[in-house]
A = this chain, B = another copy of it.
Amino acid sequence: MTENSRPLFRKVALIGIGLIGSSLAYAMRRVGLAAHISGYTHRAETLEKAKSLGFADTLHLELASAVNDADLVVLATPVGAFGELARELAPHLKRGSILSDVGSVKMAVVRDVGPFVPEGVHFIPAHPIAGTEQSGPEAGFAELFDGRWCILTPLPDADSAAVNILKTFWQRCGSQVETMDAKHHDLVLAITSHVPHLIAYNIVGTADDLETVTQGEVIKYSAGGFRDFTRIAASDPVMWRDVFLNNRDAVLEMLGRFNEDLSALQRAIRWGDGDMLLTLFSRTRAIRRSIVDAGQDIGEPNFGRTRIKR
């Protein structure tokens, strides 16, 4: 089943067809990963949009028909909905099939979905570290996962053959794959994704609330740095609410670190400790370089937004 020449699965069911679900469909289509892709949404309007985009073979407003006979079922809605979805779709899962997801938190997924997984179904949580600030089926595209990492967090008793199939699946969608336990995943993502999103949302909110600086001024002069934060702070509100509600402990832990460090910086500014500032500012430059070297960002200045003509 793992050769590149034929479908890895007969049927893949995408439960949720927003940015990630639709991108996954495009990525599967690109290399012929599934003979049949079914898509589920609870909104008639989203179904109509998806129909016109054509990335799925069948589209469904009810779970039973979407997952019927599927070899792989992927939960791709905001994580707050996973528990209820799992409860409803569990009776319709095929023996020997894989149940996975794309949620940004993993402990909560194990907690909410785990109890409903029927005997003989392989439950393997996953998280592709990829996305954009846009959402909905119109936002999807095949290249979203190219070169990005996908983290699998199989439980200790997971079937290794099933884990390998899911690994192959993500690799053929363009990803690099890593495996770790769910608790560590949640800690890693708290610092690499969740806290960055939180402080971006926060600074944009703060700027919007000032009485001494107008919103018009904030917008006009945003190229001074602020605009970078607004991209992340334009991410899907429901998805991110669910992330914070479901990775509370790790986020609060990392936020505590962030706050301690920020207090030290604040104190350095108040007391004019230029050496402390210079030391930090010099150190952070090296990390940027490592990220570009690792192929996780482009090296062009300003993310390539300013096209240099000379």
List residues of A whose CB falls within 8 A of some B CB.
Answer: 26, 80, 104, 129-134, 139, 141-144, 148-149, 151, 178, 187-189, 191-210, 212-213, 215, 217-235, 237-238, 240-242, 244-245, 248, 251-252, 254-255, 257-259, 261-262, 265-266, 269-270, 272, 274, 277-278, 280-285, 287-291, 294, 296-298, 301-310
Contact B285 A233 (CB under 8 A): yes
Closest B-chain residue to A55, C-beta based? B310
Name 26 interchain pairs, CB-CB below 8 A, sorted by A: A130-B223, A141-B309, A142-B309, A148-B223, A149-B220, A149-B221, A151-B221, A178-B220, A191-B210, A197-B225, A201-B281, A205-B261, A206-B258, A210-B257, A220-B294, A223-B296, A228-B231, A230-B284, A233-B284, A240-B281, A241-B274, A245-B277, A259-B262, A297-B305, A303-B305, A304-B305
Contacts known (A290-B219, A306-B132); A226 close to B277, Cβ less than 8 A: no
Q: Which residues of B contact A129 (CB under 8 A)?
A: 221, 223-224
Contact A192 B226 (CB under 8 A): yes
Q: How far is the CB of A18 from chain B (nearest CB, A)?
A: 13
- Given contact pairs A141-B310, A189-B224, A303-B303, enumerate 13 new A-B contacts (beta carbons under 8 Å): A178-B220, A193-B226, A196-B228, A200-B225, A202-B258, A206-B257, A209-B257, A220-B294, A228-B232, A234-B284, A234-B288, A303-B304, A303-B305
The 8 Å CB contact of A288, one of B131, B193, B231, B306, is B231
Contact B284 A205 (CB under 8 A): yes
Q: Which residues of B contact A208 (CB under 8 A)?
A: 283-284, 287
Q: Which residues of B contact A148 (CB under 8 A)?
A: 223
Contact B139 A301 (CB under 8 A): yes
Q: Which residues of B contact A284 (CB under 8 A)?
A: 201, 204-205, 208, 230, 233-234
Contact B197 A237 (CB under 8 A): no
Q: How far is the CB of A237 from chain B (nearest CB, A)?
A: 4
Contact B252 A270 (CB under 8 A): yes
Q: How far is the CB of A47 from chain B (nearest CB, A)?
A: 21
Contact B188 A213 (CB under 8 A): yes
Contact B226 A133 (CB under 8 A): no
Q: How far is the CB of A66 from chain B (nearest CB, A)?
A: 24
CA distance A178 to B225 in the complex (A): 18
Q: How far is the CB of A48 from chain B (nearest CB, A)?
A: 20
Q: Which residues of B contact A201 (CB under 8 A)?
A: 265, 280-281, 284
The 8 Å CB contact of A222, one of B237, B270, B291, is B291
Contact B205 A193 (CB under 8 A): no
The 8 Å CB contact of A281, one of B207, B241, B265, is B241
Q: Which residues of B contact A131 (CB under 8 A)?
A: 224
Q: Which residues of B contact A272 (CB under 8 A)?
A: 245, 248
